Structure 1
Amino acid sequence: MNVGGTASTANTATQSPAKTTPQSVPQPSSKSANGSDSVDWNSLVEASVVQKKAPAVRLDLKIKENTTEIKAYQKMQGLMQNLASSLKSIRGSDSSLTRNDDIFSKRQAYLTGRGVTNPQSNVVVTATNGADVRTYDLKILKVATAQKVASQSFPDSKTDLNLEGSFSLKLDGAAGAATTIDIKKDMPLAEIAEAINAKKAGTGVSAAVVKVSETESKLILNADKTGKNILMTPVAGANIGQSLGLVAPGGGFANQLQAATDALVELDGVQASRDSNVIDDLVKGVTFSLYKETGAGNSVSVEVAQSLNDINTAIKGLVDSYNAYRTFAISQQQVATGGQVSADAALFGESILRNANTGIAGALSTTINTESMALLGLSYDPNNMLQIDATKLNDALINRLPDVEKILGFQASSSSADVGLLTRGANMPASLSLDIKTDGNGKITSVLADGKADQFVVSGQRIVGAEGTAYAGMTLVFTGKTDTTANLSFSSGIAERLYQSVTQYSDPQNGLIQKVVTEMTADNEGHTKRYNRMMSDVNQFRTRLIKLFSEYQKEIVRAESDLNYLKAILGIKD
């Protein structure tokens, strides 16, 4: 019989009774047998430990189940965040009506040549979000040029010129004083160019040495801006400009390679000149970058329009992100053969998944003026995955863009030009009537919302939805002076409703999924601490049990030895 250590037995035929000394913390590994009696000490210990450990095993299983569920929730959250991101590119921010940051506010300029073969080589046009949608006729009569002047010829650029003095440089019309540049006797042409370039940030003039031939080099001065003349003035010592042959004896540059000229354009029959080829103040929100004249009788048609390519891409992004989420949702509803829940369906039957799916389906079923997602060429396949009819989508973008914007985005209208919506909330009403009272000078004294007080808080000229009301999150602005009644109407399209439905679950700070994950993580931390305590108790129990059984074994061995000794003395045979 042994409970830890090497077995110790008594041979009654040949040995005197012997005593055994078990190890301090023995480990059961065999049986003790004597006649018909036998004790499987290992099994006794393990059976007792298993029974003691059963609650810890159940708790460990719960921890593992929670961990699997947390990972599934986190995957769900990530997929919903991707969906929300694709929706945000369509609907913009909550202030998109004033910030123009939704997809329908993006602008793209389309160029068509009229007598011009490649209009993109003449001009590049960009438009900011919210720029007026319209078409312009542009003629580029002259592009702006930067002044460029040359010095006299020098044998090379490395021989000291023995010139000493200083001069100042700046561009005509530039703010601030001219910058002084010092020239020393031991400076060759190349070092003079370096000295000028060292100060070009302040002067707006850069220099370069051009090697005309093996025996001829020239210093070239370039204005860094078009339409601006270079001003070169002697300051002290030799007249460096004249010595270099840049300035004529009577003043003025001796060898002007290119004059400073302004750009001249004609837009819709109106001529305008600028000293730069980048013109951003001719039409609000539109920038024209000029490169080449259009030529006599020729022009470029510039159509500033909504960016159909971006809208198309955004809709496809919505479909892709929805289908990625839908694939996950389907995986969480799978039933294995035999009717049991699939091992991968960690969220099977969970209310959050079920409610999220219901909200998403409801948002996708939105109709605006009888139009639905079918207008966009969207439909469900047998697994409720979204599919796109590209032909229908392109047709809608080209011929029914206002309807596309309505079915996807958020719309607001006001009967009063003095009342406008700045920021929308998560749950916008279909309509709202505001009665605004003032002191006659524009200061708001009271606001009634559909006849009810205390629904909005006045902050200067802003009317902010009160927390806890149906208007929380809304902000309106009042620009009038006298009492005003404004009737407002709102409509939320598919992208808007879907975004609001998804973000209440996916928000990383306050979303419903994050709350569940946080709670389950905290539970698991508590469970883990409890499990560790329970397993510590189990290990201590095992140690105590082994020691106890070792004592039992010791006594049994001693008793067997004494019995065999007595039998030997008395001559009793088995």
Structure 2
Amino acid sequence: MAITSTGFGSGLPINDLVAKLVTAEATPATTRLDRREARLQTELSAIGILKGALSDFQSSFKGLADVDNFTSRSARSSDGKVASFSADESASLGSYSLEVSNLASAHKLVGQSGYTDGDTGTLTFDNAAGKSFTVDIADSNTSLEGIRDAINDAEDNFGMTATILNLESGPRLVLTSDDTGADNRITSISSTSTTGDLSGFDYTYTANADTALDGDDGNYDQVTAALDARFSLEGQLMTSSSNTIEDVIPGATITLKDTTEADKPITLTVNTNTTNVKSMIEGFVESYNALQGLIAQQTAYNPDTEAAGPLQGDALTRTIQNQLRTLMSGGQTDEGINSLAQLGITTQRNGQLELDSEKLDDALKNRFSEVSRFFSDENNGFAKRLDTTLEGYLQSNGTFATRTDLLNRQMDDIGDQRESLGLRLQKLEARLFSQFNAMDATVAQLNNTGNYLQQQLASLAQIGQNSSKK
């Protein structure tokens, strides 16, 4: 009799039995692979975090390896209301005395006579530098607005802007030099009239004998005189057409803003930019301490909970930590400053760095060139040596890349083992089903045979009973 349903012959729950047997076979191997995979995932994550922290630390001292960061200058004016001061890295260190007697100014004239639309001809403008340009006043631009636009649009305009001021007595033409200085003074305006009379625009500069600043005439009021800046630097009298003074102090720029009181000069100072260097050193210390804190966390062991950090006992982490501590506490053979300790940076028992700010300030103030050489020397600078050490770990084919590749290969191997386990369990399941089904068929046959025998015995017994009654 053919078996069409598993367990039909024996009455056993063969599907459940096979499933439980397969699970029992799979559980130890699956548990082992799960634990190993979780451990590798944790280790891979921890290695990635450590690599990122090392990379951040490496970035924190890049500036200390660049000698240009030790040549930057800080410029200071003792009175920013009188003059602002800036300097680039080429400026020489030093201080300078500055007195300002007057600022450079741009010439400004306001017309005093009215104007009747319709006059035509030409207007010619001249300045103190010998430059000149002429505009045509034709029928299309005989209004005051048209004259203004003709002046502003002239291609050879030497640097003068025309505007209009509307007064109660009527509109007035305003002429302003674009640049400051005596050479940009408007010296004359001459007209030629074709129709009407343009002589109301004529102007001739006439200096007042007392001030040499007057410049008024009948047609214009000089609102602002065209002046050069007059100043004294280190007692040397100088003039400038602009209030921005460049390269009198090589590499530095002075911007004049106001005059000084008599015999009360201000001081301009060029110093080394120690503030920027100190900030970089402080950032280096903070980043190193953050790295050490991370390593301590990743390698910690809690005896109460018996919980270990993911990198507890890790050889790579221990090697990195030892190398860094050696570099931090070691010295150089160069003369002058040759260790972090001389800058007030010392290693504590917990591996963290401690910074004595006063000691660092003193070194930056009095031994700045030695500080620069200690960090940025091309051959033996501390920052260069530290960078070289870390680069061996962080480069594309470095230690971290090798370690990560190894962990990834181990993860791939676990995947292969899971696949092999799956195939083995499939074969086990098929074999168990085959065996149980064979057993089930045998039991079914035995049951059939037993039933047949019982029927035969029952028949014989019945025959016996019938015979005895006869």
TM-score class, shorter: 0.7 to 0.9
5+ long unaligned stretches in structure 2 = 207-214, 458-470
Residue aligning to 2:50: 73
AA aligned to 1:218 is: R
Q: Are 1:260 and 2:226 an aligned pair?
A: yes
CA distance in 1, matches of 2:430, 2:232: 104
AA aligned to 1:558 is: A
5+ long unaligned stretches in structure 1 = 1-16, 23-29, 113-118, 413-422, 429-495
CA distance in 2, matches of 1:187, 1:248: 19
Q: Which moved more, 1:371-380 or 1:123-132?
A: 371-380
CA distance in 2, matches of 1:194, 1:565: 122
CA distance in 2, matches of 1:266, 1:181: 45
Q: Are 1:321 and 2:287 an aligned pair?
A: yes
CA distance in 2, matches of 1:265, 1:231: 24
Distance 1:266 1:524, change over 3 A: same
- How many angstroms does 1:338 deviate by? 6.6
- How many angstroms does 1:380 deviate by? 4.2
**Contact 2:244–2:253 under 8 Å retained in 1:** yes
**Contact 1:144–1:262 under 8 Å retained in 2:** yes
Distance 1:363 1:203, change over 3 A: farther
Q: Are 1:248 and 2:203 an aligned pair?
A: yes
Q: Are 1:127 and 2:87 an aligned pair?
A: yes
Residue aligning to 1:41: 18
- How many angstroms does 1:318 deviate by? 3.1
Residue aligning to 1:349: 315
Q: Secondary structure at the match of 2:4?
A: coil
Residue aligning to 1:403: 367
Distance 1:63 1:374, change over 3 A: closer
CA distance in 1, matches of 2:174, 2:326: 70
AA aligned to 1:72 is: I
Distance 1:151 1:359, change over 3 A: farther
- How many angstroms does 1:282 deviate by? 0.6
- How many angstroms does 1:199 deviate by? 7.5
Distance 1:37 1:207, change over 3 A: closer
**Contact 1:123–1:291 under 8 Å retained in 2:** yes
Q: Secondary structure at the match of 1:569?
A: helix
Give the counterpart of 1:210 among 165, 189, 196.
Answer: 165
Q: Which moved more, 1:51-60 or 1:256-265?
A: 51-60
**Contact 2:124–2:191 under 8 Å retained in 1:** no
Residue aligning to 1:568: 451
Distance 1:565 1:65, change over 3 A: same
- How many angstroms does 1:327 deviate by? 1.9
CA distance in 2, matches of 1:270, 1:233: 34
Q: Secondary structure at the match of 2:104?
A: coil
Q: Secondary structure at the match of 2:77?
A: strand
**Contact 2:135–2:150 under 8 Å retained in 1:** no
What pairs with 1:485-504 in structure 2 (closer than 5 Å)? 496-497=381-382, 499-504=383-388
Give the counterpart of 1:138 among 98, 106, 112.
Answer: 98
What pairs with 1:54-69 in structure 2 (closer than 5 Å)? 57=34, 60-61=37-38, 63-69=40-46
AA aligned to 2:229 is: A
- How many angstroms does 1:311 deviate by? 4.0
Residue aligning to 1:519: 402
Distance 1:565 1:205, change over 3 A: farther
- How many angstroms does 1:370 deviate by? 7.8
AA aligned to 1:317 is: G
- How many angstroms does 1:170 deviate by? 9.6
Give the TM-score taking structure 2 as reference length. Answer: 0.73
Q: Secondary structure at the match of 1:502?
A: helix
Distance 1:546 1:388, change over 3 A: same
Q: Secondary structure at the match of 1:322?
A: helix
What pairs with 1:413-492 in structure 2 (closer than 5 Å)? 425=378, 427-428=379-380
Distance 1:296 1:503, change over 3 A: same
Equivalences, count = 442
Give the TM-score taking structure 1 as reference length. Answer: 0.62
- How many angstroms does 1:278 deviate by? 0.9
Q: Secondary structure at the match of 2:282?
A: helix
CA distance in 1, matches of 2:200, 2:330: 76
Give the counterpart of 2:184 among 201, 214, 229.
Answer: 229
- How many angstroms does 1:140 deviate by? 1.3
CA distance in 1, matches of 2:430, 2:142: 98
Residue aligning to 1:280: 246
Q: Secondary structure at the match of 1:409?
A: helix
Structure (1 or 2) with the greater strand fraction: 1
AA aligned to 1:402 is: N
AA aligned to 1:229 is: N
CA distance in 2, matches of 1:181, 1:310: 59
Residue aligning to 1:298: 264
CA distance in 2, matches of 1:538, 1:169: 99
CA distance in 1, matches of 2:232, 2:140: 51
Deviations 1:317-369 (A, max 9, x none): 33322322232233344233179673243673325413432343234788855
AA aligned to 1:299 is: P
Deviations 1:424-477 (A, max 9, x none): 64x44xxxxxxxxxxxxxxxxxxxxxxxxxxxxxxxxxxxxxxxxxxxxxxxxx
AA aligned to 1:519 is: T
CA distance in 1, matches of 2:322, 2:394: 13
AA aligned to 1:120 is: G
CA distance in 2, matches of 1:360, 1:333: 21
Larger Rg: 2
**Contact 2:51–2:400 under 8 Å retained in 1:** yes
Q: Secondary structure at the match of 1:500?
A: helix
**Contact 1:164–1:184 under 8 Å retained in 2:** yes
Structure (1 or 2) with the greater helix fraction: 2
Deviations 1:43-81 (A, max 9, x none): 322244456668865763564255224313323323322
- How many angstroms does 1:288 deviate by? 0.9
AA aligned to 1:357 is: L
AA aligned to 2:315 is: G
**Contact 1:79–1:324 under 8 Å retained in 2:** no
**Contact 1:181–1:196 under 8 Å retained in 2:** no
Cα RMSD (Å): 4.9
**Contact 2:298–2:309 under 8 Å retained in 1:** no
CA distance in 1, matches of 2:296, 2:362: 32
